[in-house]
Amino acid sequence: MDKITIVIGALGVGIGFGLQALVNNLVSGLIISFEKPVNVGDIVEIGNRSGIMKSIGFRSSVIYTWDGADVVIPNGDLLNQHLVNWTLSNRRRRVDILIGVAYGTDLKKAIQILEDLAKNDHRVLQAPAPIVLIKEFSNSSINLRLLIWVRDFMEWTNVQSDINAAIDIAFKENNIVIPFPQQDVHIHSVDGNVKEMKNENKTSE
């Protein structure tokens, strides 16, 4: 009887933990249904996974990742982890573009070129307006930061790529150099007395 009691107790504990996870997922599914922190079609980021919310069930939800995989996530994990919903209230996204220019560059001219490129792209919002900031003075360049808002989240990578290509062309046309990391090596000549001391040491040996 003692052995049977132990086995039944172990089974009860296991079933209890299983039911606890099941109830947690079911309650989380109800919370998602009523509060709607995420909807089907939203672009979300959960942990190290991101994609489009494909379906939301009572126990689990499915995310369609950018790699083409369907990832099933329990609703409890969906709420317990840091859920980032990129399209809950709108589909806009801010894009940061970093660019370095050589020392001695006319910064006003470079900033004006960047602002004009951003304003001429119809996919970039003008409110809030594009802005260029001088980020830092690094070892081999002055780093600028172009901040823009893209109208549609799905376009931000294409916009970033197109503006980077346009920056390269515009800077070449205006003789603005984009430097690459480099280091200068200075070689100092050895004093004659030091050479004589080294020769004497070799002779004595």
* Model pLDDT, residue 197: 56
d(CA 138, CA 109): 20
Mean pLDDT by 10 residues, the chain (205 residues): 56 56 73 84 88 88 91 85 85 93 93 94 92 91 94 91 95 90 62 55 52
Buried b (16+ CB within 10 A) or exposed e, 80-117: eeebeebbeeeeebebebebbbeeebeeeebbebbbeb
pLDDT at 109: 94
Q: How far is it, in rounded angstroms, from Cα 58 to Cα 23?
A: 10
- Structure pTM? 0.70
Q: CB-based contacts of 192: which residues, under 8 Å, 6+ apart?
A: none
Domains and CATH numbers, the chain: 2-85 (2.30.30.60), 93-173 (3.30.70.100)
Q: Please tell me the predicted confidence (pLDDT) of residue 184.
A: 61
> How long is the chain?
205
CA dist., res. 18 & res. 1, Å (int): 25
